[in-house]
A and B are shown apart, each in its own frame.
Chain A
Amino acid sequence: MAFYIVYIREAHASDIWQDPDNLKDRVSYTEPKSAEERSEMGQLCAAKLGIKFPAVVDGLDNATERAYTGWPERLYVIGQDGRIAYKSGPGPYGFRSKEVADTLHRVVPPLRNGLDLSGGLLPKPADRAIRNPVQPSQE
C-alpha cells in the first residue's frame, strides 16, 4: 500500500485564524501566498513532524482539498479498485488513525488473510506465532 500526505492550506495560519495552542508550541506561520511558498511549507511540515512518507502539495486553487473536503485535516483509504474504502470525519475530532488501520486490515489481502506477509508490513507468520500464540480467527 502507499501513503501520501496531501499538504493543503493551513488550518490555523497566524494571519487568518490563530490557535492559542499553536502559540504555546511556538508554531506560528502565515498562509503561504504562492505555489513555491506552499511547497516550502509542505516540506517544513513533513520535516518538523518527522513524516517519512511522501508529501504532495495542493495547488493554490485548493482543488484537491475541495474535492475531498480535506481541510483542516482528514484521512482517506482508497481501495485498489480506486473507490473510497474509508473516509474519516473532519479533523481534528474525526482524525482517527485507528480507523485507518482497521480499514487496511480489511482491504489489504495480506493483512486480511494473515498469510502472505511479504513486504515487511507485519512480522513473518512464524515470528508472529511466537510472539502471539493465539492466532486471530479468520473472517
Chain B
Amino acid sequence: MLKQFIKQFTNQEIVKEFIKIDRSYFLTSDKIRQTTALIQTKPAFEGVILGTEGRVFKPSIFLLQKICAFTNKKINADKKGEWMFICGKDVFGKSVLKFGEGIKINDFVIVQNQYHECLGYGKITADISSKGKIVENFFDIGDFLRRER
C-alpha cells in the first residue's frame, strides 16, 4: 500500500527499504534494528514513520515532504484554504495560490500552504479553473488532533 501510494505522485523509488509493524510502515536503520532485537518484545514504533494503512492510506508529514521533492502533483492553498483543509474540509479553487504543472481531474495531489508546508493530500474532482470544490480531502494533518479524541 505504501508503494502504491507513492506511485500516485511519482515513479521515483523514494523509499527503498522499510519495515512494517502492524498497519504502519517505518524507515529504520541497522543500528536501530540491532537495538530493537535486544528486547524480546515487538516494538510499536521504530525510527521514522512513513504512513499507516486504513480506509485510506495515512502518510506521515515526513513521507509527504519527501514525495513533494519528486512531484508536480501539488497545490498551494492560501491561509483560509489551509485552515479549512486541516479542519478536514475540501479545497476550493478560490483558495488555491498555485497549481503544479499538468494537474488534471482524478489526479491525487499533495496540499501545501503558502510556506510549502505539507498539509495532507486529496483528489482533484473538478477543473482546476473552477472556483468551487476542486480537491477532495483524503487526509490532512488535523488528524493529529482527531486521533486524541
| B is bound to A | no
Which residues of B approach A to under 8 Å, CB–CB? none
